[in-house]
Structure formats: structure tokens, C-alpha cells
Structure 1
Amino acid sequence: MNKVASDKINHNKNPFDMWYDLNSEVGQYLSAGRTYYYQCYAIQNGKEVRCSISSFTTESDNSGLSISTGGADSVTSNNATVRGTAAYSGTRPSEVGLYFGTSPNNMNKVARDTISHNKNPFDIWYDLNSEAGQYLNAGTTYYYKVYGIQNGNETCGDVKSFTTASNTTERTYTAYVFNTDGSLAINSRPSKDYRIGAIPEGASCTVYPDRMSGNWCWVEYNGISGYSYKDYLTQNLNVRTGIVRGTDGSLVINSKPKVGNDIGYIPEGASCTVYPDKTSGNWYWVSYNGVSGYSYKDYIILQ
């Protein structure tokens, strides 16, 4: 044992207590689950007197981190989404991320995120193109694993792999956004709250069916690519031309299928584009002069 603390006595209390906080007063930073020994001493007339030796054992550290590497989704010739999960006890992980490469023995750390939420367990998702900056080659096998850091210690999941498609030409189709009453979010991951853009109601976008992830489609609109919920996308909008009749002036375009949500007008006698498949009760979804919305169908004659 080493002498780690000493104090001069300038009071006249007799008897008196001796207290030491090992961290703040003595500078001793202890390890979990370890036994330590100590004894107090005093010096009187130049002679040191020691008490008996005592001991204590610090509590075990109950912190723990479990990382699981999941599969790869939406694998194409030049992209994939990889996933994993993290579960922990004790201290929340400070960071999670992804190792990636063309060899299981030579992977680089390509993505990392600081954890600020208290979800437990929680999912880890990375789109290799948009989030990890990895632009893949067709017909190539890649290896990856997710990791987490807790209390400065890194824990990794198992190494997994996927092979990109050899065909560099991806299948696509055009779809229209419907029934969102405004816009459809584009997300960086196949779940809510990762919004990176939006597709207006009635607009068309490009869909990549080979990149489906559950109920999420990989879409591209106005230079932004990501996931959008498939229930708001359709290929089969029946587009017709409509002529406005009987309004004595103009027909209101509404943002919702009811009166009082005006966003534009169609003059009497003008023609507009009508999407009959998006009819909502007595309201057609129409497009006129760059404005899309709902108009009362009794004033529109389909051609």
C-alpha cells in the first residue's frame, strides 16, 4: 500500500473522525469488481501509529453492449442497404457505425453516428450510396459488420457479405403520388423520421422495384433518391382531359377534398388534366397551370 493522502491537524477535537473520498480527495480511480486494502495512520511526537488493515470490493460494472449484424436489403448492381441492431445495459452507447470492404480481413470504418436517443434495443441502418458514400461495382462481393462503442470499448457484430447484381441496367417504372393531401416524404432509410425530400401530390417519380425494402420503395425525384412508402405510389393513374362548365367564372382547386382549402382556380371553359383514379367522393384530382389539387367534379366534363 502507498501513502496517498495526508492532512495536518489544527483543531482540538478529541476524538475526531477521518474521511477520504478516494476519487475527489485522494485521486484514486478504481476499477469495477476489484478488492482494495487500506489503513489509516496518525503521527504523534514524530511516531507513526497505524490502525488495522481493512478492505472493500467495488461493485461489478453491469454495463454491456450486444451488437448484431443484419442482412443486406435492396441489393442492386451499385447499391445496398445494410442493417444491424444494438442492445445494451448500463451506459448508453456513445457511437455506432459500419465497417465495409471487399475482404473480411480488410474493412474500413465508413460510417458512424453519435447516439442521442434512449431506445433499447435500437436498429442501425446504412444505405451504402447516400449515407456511407460507397459506390459499388456490379457483380462484386462486399463484406460488412456493424459496431458500437460503450464506455470507450468497441463491440462488433459478425461479418456478413452480399454480392451486387451483375446487370448494370436497373429496372425502373414511373409512379404517381396520390392520397397524401400534400406530399410524400423521401427518407434516407426505410422508416419514418429520416426525411431528405418530398414528392408533391400528383407528381411522378422513378421507382426502382429491385430495391424494395418491406413496404418501402426506392424512388428518385428532382435529383433526390431515397425511400417512400409504397401505399402512396401508383402506376395506373388514368389521365383524362376535363372542361370546366357551369361555374359562372371559375372552379376552385383545393388542397383537400372539401371547401375552404383554396390553392388555385380553373377559368370557365378552360381545360385541365383530370386523374379519375384519384377521385375522392365528389372531388376529382386535377392539374391546371402548375397547380394540382381537388375540384368539385360536377363542374368538370371529362373528354
Structure 2
Amino acid sequence: MEGKQLKKLMVGMALTATLATAVTPGFGSIGGNQGKAYAATVTYKVTASKLNVRSGAGTNYGIIGSVVKDQMLSVVSKSGSWYKINYNGRTGYVSSDYVQASGTTTPPAESTTYTVTASTLNVRSGAGTSYASIGSVTKGQKLSVVSKSGSWYKINYNGRTGYVSSDYVQASGTTTPPAESTTYTVTASTLNVRSGAGTSYASIGSVTKGQKLSVVSKSGSWYKINYNGRTGYVSSDYVQASATASPKLVVDSFKTLGNAQQVILVTADNYDTKSAKIQTFEKVDGKWKQVLTANGVLGQKGFALSKKEGDMESPTGKYTIGTAFGRYENPGTKLPYRKITANDVWVDDSKSSLYNTWQQKPANGRWTSAENMDIPAYDYGFVINYNESRTPGNGSAIFFHVGTNYTAGCTATSKEQVVSILKWLNPEKNPVIIQSPVSELDKY
């Protein structure tokens, strides 16, 4: 527990945050009785000689600094036994066991818990699947949510700002972060920005009519905003909120998906690169949502204009998904699953009647060439239903499997991502995989 550790490691530290008086601004300032001055009712003082400031409300979060005995704290809210504070222009958390609060007002409780429901969920640099993945969170993990933008939560992630899809996060509680897809515009000629959500808090500056605000959340009739690198509060009575359209996903424009409710999209910058971007999408309540983005690889020579056996190129097109496979037990996929044995092969002999099928050794004259299935690349994967007519010479053994360098014509990504996708795929949702250079996505 933070308290016991601090008693041993750092002698008591006291932090006092005086929520200063609200001074009457000049003529024309507006914002809920802002013409009066109010005394601050609560001060927060550190009682330990040194107290860690952490990036989240718990000892499992990283230390971003410290405060010392008798230091005054600017407390924003309370989450369990932790105070959320403004710390050198950043958000920090300190144990309330080592902070003495004097007065009658308690900071508002952070009453909503946000829990990840997906096995693995990408954290992105922006509110959309077009933004880069900066990491991931796992099932059951609690998130520090700042706000909501359409179907994305803005979160604090390892001291950085990140975004996760809200479709895979369960919110329990009463407070909902504001939509970032909303524009907030000041309607008063001059509006005080205060250090807390009330007129008893000091004015730390002002904003003017027509100015756009960066709103973090709403507390009663006050907006919490980012103000010149600091946290501030303005009266919502003098701010107009107007909704803006959420950005579209790439699959929203596809016309060839039919009844597919899950899509794996594999794209590359051009035909000649082996580097690919893998994205997965799922239709939920009639709307497409992005689930995952990962880096992947294609055939050594990239995408094929016209796929041929042995060309080291991956086929382009839209395909259904076949049997899942692996050298180990089923990792949890709903697809039909086949465990690979030492005798399993995939026939790539164009002259064989068994061309482009899964068979077992020995050949006994049935083929002259076949690919061994019992290899690390096929620890886990699934069949891409390419060349189902088994036209001789048009290519065989096209899989989605484990790999990070290049393939002989398949699509590959890390084992972790392959397993994640296998667990996500549901044959009842008619999943398809689309492989294409970015410039040709309009075909779909």
C-alpha cells in the first residue's frame, strides 16, 4: 500500500492546495456571479516529508515527480484514496493518506470506471484507425479516461495521450466524458477561467467571444478545459456546444462487402513493397467499428498483378476465410480448427489432381511437390480461400500466418496479433479479407 511504503521510504510530506479567491474581473466579464469574491474553502497540505506524484490513481502507475511537506496542492478531484492534482502543468495523483484537507468542500468523485473488454486493444495516437498504434491494453485493465470523441475514448497511457475504441471498453458509473466531436465556442464578451468548478475558485485568466475551447469534461454547470497548458474551468452558461461529424472509416465507402460483418483489410503503399498494414473492422449495430491495427508483411516481391505459382507475390482481391490451423491446441477461435501433424502438407504441384489442397504424407505418387505444414510460421494461422477452383499454376497455399520478415505469397504478422485475430473472427459474421494497394481500394 502506498501509505505504508511511504512511511518507511519517505517521512511524511504535506501538500496544501489553496483554491484561491475569485477576484472580480473587469466590466463585461461573465460567468455565474463572477462579480463577487469568494474565499477558498479547502486547502490541501502534504503531511509526508516527500510524497510521490504518480501518473494514475494507484501505486502500479509510474512516478512523474514528488511534492514535499507543507506544499500546497491544486486538487481537481478524488478517486478512492487518491487525489487527482494539477502538477507542473500535468495531471498527477497522490495518496490522500498523506494529504491534510482543511475545510468543508470535498472535490468531486471520479465515479466512472472504464474497463477493457477485448483480449487486446490498440492504443492509438488519435481518434481513428488512420492513426498509429502506440501500444495496447488488455482485458480487465482499468483506463484513465479524459474524454470521448465519437466512438473513441481519449486516455492517459503511460504518461502520454492515447485513444481507444469505446466499443471494447465497459464504463460503469454515472459520469460520461464529453464528446470531442463537439465544438465549444465562447458566447460572452469576456469569460473568466477559474482554478476550480465554481465561483469560489480564483480566476487564472479569461477567454473572449468566439474563442474555441478544448473541453476535457463537464462538472455540473462548469466545463473543465485545457487553458494555456493548465487546467481551468469556465461556466457552461456562456459556452455554445455544437456537434461535428465523426471521421469516416475506410470500410464505410466499400460497396462489395455484402453480408460481411467482419473485415480484415491488408493494404500496402504500392505493388512492390513487402510491408503491409493490417486492420480489422466489425459492424456493430449497423455501424462499422475498427478493432485492431498491426504491421504485417506480404510476399517477398509484394502484391501480384496476376498471381502465379512460385512468384513470391501475395494475391490481391476479396476472399472468404477458411479453416484455422496451428501446431498447438485451438487458441480460442470460433473458426473450424485443425491441429497440424508432422505428416501434414499442402500440395503445390500444379499437375496433381490434389493441387491446392491439404493432404498427408506419404505422397505415394499423388504429387511431386508439397509444402510442409509443420513449421514455426504455421504455429497459428488460417486459410485464405484463394484459387478455390484450383486452377493449375494460379497459386496455392495462401495463408494468413505468423511472420515478420516476408512470405512466399501469404500474409503474415506477429504471433500475438494472429492469435488475437483468430479469437476475434466469428464465422457467423461472414468475415472476409481484402488485400490491395491503397491506390486501388476504390475497387471494393
- Identify the TM-score tier after normalising by the shorter chain: under 0.3
TM-score for the superposition, normalised by structure 1: 0.26
TM-score for the superposition, normalised by structure 2: 0.19
Higher Rg of the two aligned structures: 1
